Structure 1
Amino acid sequence: MRFDDHRVIITATGRDFGRTLAIRLADLGAEIFLSARTLAAAERVRDEIRGRGHQHVHAFACDLTDPASIRDFAADVARHTDRIDVLINNGSRYLQGPDLQSASDADVVDTIASGATGTVLTVKNFLPLLLNSDKPDVVTMVSACGTAGHHRSDAHDAFYAAKSAQAGFAEILSKRLRPMESG
């Protein structure tokens, strides 16, 4: 499958899976709007993709724990394009820990804010651009930690909470944003 003429937003592309996903979708022809917590991290990935011969890639800073940063990211993208076809919510800070007491309050807040609140606000702020597409889609990368009954990860309880929130949000979005089927 090719992604020519698709405009794709991917959050948390500074490393790991987000980086790999951005590279692969660019290789498949998509125009990529990538973000990372710092502009330098996003620019590194942008430059790597451009080095592969893809010029339609844009880098932005977006801290998913900061509502103003998410709004600024959406506004900056809107200055580059009138539509987004796919929004990939990849961002959620991973936190490892054997039990609830093993992380600081600040780490718990940051983990839940990036995954849960960050995902909701990213969709909210990009919804106008998505609705301008004739083929809009929202993809949220929910790990097994967001699956009911999963308990085999070394992830901290806060990461489980963030991923469970993402899963619940994705489920309700699929019902509320899907066009009504005629019948």
Structure 2
Amino acid sequence: DGAVAVAVETPLRAMTRAAVESGARVALGGDGAGARTAARALTRPAEVMEQLRTLAETPELAALIEDAAFWAYVEADALPAAAAQPSFQRLQWNAERRREIAALGLVHEASAGDPALFALEMRAALAQIGPRLRALREDPDLARLANDPAVAELVARRDVVGLLRHPGLQRVLARALAPPSEAAPGRAARSAPAASEG
């Protein structure tokens, strides 16, 4: 399927993937669970960052993060196809990973023991992540960050914590992860003059 073909790697694509990776880890549980994770991160930032790093380095999460087809389906709002990807299935049916994800607050505790409930929660979260991935891809600041040598070095080292702490990337992620009414004030401002013409 051409819609999910893996494109040639470029600095911009690598930066986009790194930003998506970071944003997805923070927002995996949708608004409610994301708020829980953010609250924990504010009170215990070092612990949460280390847990995120450890979780991201597990084979199941690493495979999901690197699955270009999975994220293409998510971005296209093709959630049944995304959930059918082998990388997602391996995560869904791994009890230890479900427990770790629930412990971080990314899904509810009940999902740790119920693969079907885990999949339902994840699909609800992915429905909110898709538009945010598009916002990341379309953000012009991301292209500028891709040309920043310091950011390129963080991407090359796969230093997720360093990327999350980078002020420029924090601004990009904040816009992408904000509710729609807050995420695109510039777009609304640009459209206002056209509406008033005449």
TM-score bin, normalised by smaller chain: under 0.3
Q: TM-score, normalised by structure 2?
A: 0.23
Q: Which has the higher contact order (CA 8 A, sep 6+)?
A: 2
TM-score w.r.t. length of structure 1: 0.24
**Higher helix fraction: Structure 1 or Structure 2?**
2
Higher share of residues assigned strand:
1
